[in-house]
Structure 1
Amino acid sequence: MRTYPTPPVDELELHRILFALSDPTRLAMVTELSSSGELSVGEQLSGEVPKSTLSHHNKILRESGLTASRPEGTRCYISLREDDLERRFPGLLRTLLSHVTVRHITS
């Protein structure tokens, strides 16, 4: 079974999280996960972004510690690590997402 490692909570780094959120597509992905919960890769952004681009952005989000990936059969499910992020950086994600008003996607 394929695994998707993520950094432990105590190794989450603010500069990596902010870098991951600096891209409009990744910010839209995190916003969508925040409101929807876990999504399969195929459900993310409803086909607005090519699959290869989504894969690249998911890797950056996962490696920064913002998301976790869970394989199930032939699908991969992505979820936001809200509890871990809240423990490491209290209020950060909630504050950042509360200021997102426009969903702008660029591939």
Structure 2
Amino acid sequence: MILVNTDFISGKKLETISIVKGSTIQSKHVGKDILSGLKTLVGGELGAYREMMDEARAIATKRMVEEAEKLGADGVINIRYATSAIMQGAAEVIVYGTAVKFIG
């Protein structure tokens, strides 16, 4: 499965199949949430939240790819990510793109 954020795949002719997406909502353990809150007092990277968002993006991407595979896609173009806070310490990540099949 080829994944790109462009509207083409070099050297390939494409047939559009459908929009595909994947999403997840992730939260951190309350203990890590408290420690991260304390970290905001002194500044610096909030490692627990970075890890949470990296994991959320990976899960959402995997779900999008699974949806594309079910449609018989060879790739997904125009991939975009979006995030939103659901509640304190929890975030939704959604990824979407256009599933395509190679032709010719």
TM-score (norm 2): 0.24
Relative contact order: is structure 1 or structure 2 higher (C-alpha 8 Å, sep ≥ 6)?
2
Bigger share in helix? 1
The structure with the largest alpha-carbon Rg is 2
